[in-house]
Amino acid sequence: MDNKISSPHLSRQAYVYLRQSTPYQVESNRESTERQYALAERALSLGWDKSQIQILDGDLGKSGKTTSGREDFHKLMAAVSLGEVGAVLALEASRLSRSQAD
């Protein structure tokens, strides 16, 4: 186990957040999508049980310009706000949102 990940982290859910900005990117950049799904394996290797890993892929093909219509983003932010999240795994933090307000 990584020394930065402790029991309190592992007692909560690990969220894997997948996103690409357009349907074209999803279709033409399949390697990126596969790399994002592979983050679930990384969570396993860090100590989370498979049942504790939530994959959020409903925002694939949606722009990060706004959070409107990005239900998985809202689900993730709610879980973080409620203290239910031990880790968020994503390829780039910019995939969460482009708005500093969000």
Residues 36-77 pLDDT 10s: 999 999 999 999 999 999 999 999 888 877 788 889 999 999
Is there a catalytic annotation at residue 21? Answer: yes
The one catalytic residue in 7, 21, 68, 94 is 21
Mean pLDDT value of segment 6-35:
89
Instruction: Kindly report the pTM of this predicted structure.
Output: 0.84
Question: Does a structural domain hold residue 3?
Answer: no
Mean confidence (pLDDT) of the chain:
87
Question: Does a structural domain hold residue 4?
Answer: no
Mean pLDDT value of segment 81-102:
76
Question: Does a structural domain hold residue 26?
Answer: yes
Question: Does a structural domain hold residue 15?
Answer: yes
Mean pLDDT value of segment 2-26:
88
Provide the residue range defining the domain that includes 43: 11-95
pLDDT-based confidence at residue 94 (cuts at 50, 70, 90): low
* The total number of structural domains that make up the chain: 1
Question: Does a structural domain hold residue 55?
Answer: yes
Counting other chains too, the contacts that 51-56 makes at CB distance below 8 Å and 24 or more residues apart are 52/10, 52/12, 52/13, 52/14, 52/86, 53/13, 53/14, 53/15, 53/16, 54/13, 54/14, 54/15, 54/16, 54/79, 55/16, 55/18, 56/15, 56/16, 56/17, 56/18
pLDDT-based confidence at residue 21 (cuts at 50, 70, 90): confident
Question: Does a structural domain hold residue 29?
Answer: yes
